[in-house]
């Protein structure tokens, strides 16, 4: 079940909200747990059992870690948790990838298992690991109530598309949280904005990418337009799901951390990654990079750490070589920024640094978007005029004109410009009343547009099937 679906918006969510707020406090977590299990079962009936097994494993390992704390056997349960959690992730996500590579290298004929990827496994696996590792580090208290732990892992607002919510972030709110009209209002506002970003901007850009993929009349300019469209599509799609998760979480009394912070205003690749998918970046930083020594090691070991972290970051996104190359691509650029480009970038004007970032990020998403490296390389060749295609034709001009408005809206929306204007209005008491009147009207209009698009059966892809 997608957030951007009529069944979720007008059936599932109203029933859950009514059940939740009409229930006494002691039953609210149970309502969320049942709703979350149904939400996952609706989309993944077979793999619901896998998620429940993962929950039970994480819960029991937390108790085991707590029991062995301070003993010489203290590391055994946390190592066991890592092996089981990563083992399940590797089996269901990467088995066929490994079989295909073994067949290619050794000329064998091992049959693939054709295992369907369980939706959300990458996200809830990392959440369980953050819990057991933090309990081992004594940074989180063990959760002895299995229903509360299950609620944390399966919480439907962030279950299938993130952000990766750490146990320590909502540890206290699982046990006790408050609800207020202002929090509910903020949550509704944030959810509708995220939903609008997904349906009205990301999906429209996705239509253009789909048109490009299906046309036989490509041009050099169309390759670039499609690359930029996909880059903006995945930003608005992913940040929209984060907005919706944060909004829904706030309605239910949870305060999830921000996952995106206008990454396209960055002036370096390192700056971009401090603002993009923050929950994933900080997860790898705290549970992989720092335990290996972080940057407090020799230059050789630091380079090793960067390569390992970015290899794993790429591999986490999908079981294809282009994801691995995508991760290593960023490792290379970050190393170059550290040792070669740093002084040069500091001398460049801000606009030039910004263009530098946009260029390399655009290339990265071409690598990311390919169905394997062959397709990625084909698209890169097309962008740089290495294929037998014209630079421009009437079809390309037609699509540029047709999608110009959404590109302009997306470009503005990817910056904090609108947010800054709203904040200035809020600060000014003369106009605050106007915003209070206009805001709910605008949100209602957005919901009408979104509903119209969804009822019309418009293009509504779910990009996270690959994750």
- Supply the pLDDT for residue 47: 92
Residue with tokens 């929306």: 413
Options 61, 179, 317, 354, the catalytic residue: 317
Average pLDDT value over all residues in the chain: 93
- The CA distance from 323 to 307, in Å, is 14
Whether 61 is catalytic is: no
Residues of 234-247 as b/e, b for ≥16 C-beta within 10 angstroms? bbbbbbbbbbbbbb
Q: How confident is the model at residue 445 (pLDDT cuts 50, 70, 90)?
A: very high
Alpha carbon separation from 45 to 1, 50, 190, 340, 467 (Å, rounded): 11, 10, 30, 51, 18
Q: State residue 432's pLDDT score.
A: 67
Q: How many residues does the chain have?
A: 467
Ranges 234-248, 268-282, 339-353, 370-384: which has the least confidence: 339-353
Q: Which helix or strand (DSSP H or E) is residue 158 part of?
A: none
What's the rounded mean pLDDT across residues 392-410?
A: 95
Closest CA to 152 of 138, 133, 169, 135: 169
pLDDT tens digits along 246-283: 999 999 999 999 999 999 999 999 999 999 999 999 99
Contact 242, 259 (CB under 8 A): yes
**Confidence band (pLDDT; 50, 70, 90) for 156?**
very high
pLDDT for residue 441 is more than 70: yes
Q: Is 61 helix (H, G, I), strand (E, B) or coil?
A: helix
Residue 170: the pLDDT is: 95
- Give the separation between CA 382 and CA 172, rounded to whole angstroms: 52
Neighbouring residues of 242: CB distance < 8 A, sequence distance ≥ 6? 161, 162, 163, 194, 258, 259, 260
| Residue 464 clears pLDDT 70, i.e. is over it | no
Q: Which of 459, 465, 464, 467 is nearest to 206 (CA)?
A: 459
392 — phi, psi (to 5°)? -155, 150
**DSSP code of 134?**
H
Smallest CA-to-CA distance from 177 within 257, 252, 256, 258 is with 252
Tokens of 255: 């305060």
Q: How confident is the model at residue 429 (pLDDT cuts 50, 70, 90)?
A: low
Average pLDDT of span 304-317: 97
pLDDT, tens only, 125-153: 999 999 999 999 999 999 999 999 999 99
pLDDT tens-place string over residues 11-38 = 999 999 999 999 999 999 999 999 999 9
Q: DSSP labels for 436-467?
A: HHHHHHHHHHHHHHHHHHHHTT-----GGGG-
């Amino acid at each position: 079940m997608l957030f951007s679906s009529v069944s979720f918006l007008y059936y599932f969510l109203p029933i859950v909200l009514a059940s939740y707020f009409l229930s006494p406090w002691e039953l609210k977590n149970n309502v969320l747990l049942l709703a979350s299990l149904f939400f996952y079962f609706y989309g993944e009936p077979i793999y619901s059992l896998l998620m429940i097994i993962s929950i039970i494993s994480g819960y029991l390992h937390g108790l085991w870690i707590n029991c062995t704390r301070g003993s010489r056997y203290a590391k055994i349960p946390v190592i066991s948790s890592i092996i089981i959690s990563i083992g399940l992730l590797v089996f269901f996500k990467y088995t066929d990838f490994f079989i295909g590579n073994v067949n290619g290298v050794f000329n064998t004929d091992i049959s693939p298992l054709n295992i369907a990827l369980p939706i959300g496994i990458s996200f809830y696996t990392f959440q369980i690991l953050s819990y057991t590792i933090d309990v081992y580090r004594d940074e989180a208290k063990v959760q002895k109530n299995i229903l509360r732990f299950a609620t944390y892992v399966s919480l439907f607002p962030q279950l299938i598309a993130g952000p990766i919510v750490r146990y320590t972030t909502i540890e206290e709110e699982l046990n006790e949280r408050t609800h207020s009209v202002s929090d509910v209002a903020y949550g509704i506002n944030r959810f509708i904005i995220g939903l609008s970003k997904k349906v009205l901007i990301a999906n429209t850009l996705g239509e253009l990418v789909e048109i490009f993929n299906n046309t036989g009349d490509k041009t050099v300019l169309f390759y670039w337009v499609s690359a930029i469209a996909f880059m903006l599509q995945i930003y608005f799609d992913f940040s929209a799901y984060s907005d919706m998760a944060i909004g829904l979480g706030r309605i239910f009394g949870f305060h999830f951390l921000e996952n995106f912070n206008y990454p396209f205003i960055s002036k370096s690749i390192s700056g971009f990654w401090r603002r993009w998918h923050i929950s994933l970046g900080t997860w790898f930083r705290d549970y992989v990079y720092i335990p290996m020594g972080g940057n407090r090691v020799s230059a050789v070991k630091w380079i090793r750490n960067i390569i390992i972290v970015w290899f794993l970051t790429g591999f986490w996104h999908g079981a294809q070589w282009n994801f691995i190359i995508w991760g290593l691509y960023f490792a290379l650029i970050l190393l170059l920024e550290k040792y070669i480009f740093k002084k040069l970038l500091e001398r460049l004007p801000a606009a030039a640094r910004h263009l530098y970032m946009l260029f390399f990020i655009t290339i990265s998403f071409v690598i990311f978007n390919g169905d394997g490296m062959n397709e990625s390389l084909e698209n890169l060749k097309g962008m740089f005029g290495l294929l037998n295609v014209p630079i421009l034709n009437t079809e390309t001009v037609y699509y540029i004109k047709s999608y110009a408005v959404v590109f302009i809206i997306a470009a503005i929306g990817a910056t904090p410009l609108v947010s800054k204007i709203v904040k200035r209005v809020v600060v000014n008491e003369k106009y605050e009343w106007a915003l209070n009147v206009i805001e709910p009207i605008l949100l209602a209009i957005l919901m009408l547009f979104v509903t119209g698009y969804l009822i019309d059966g418009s293009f509504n892809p779910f990009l996270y099937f690959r994750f």
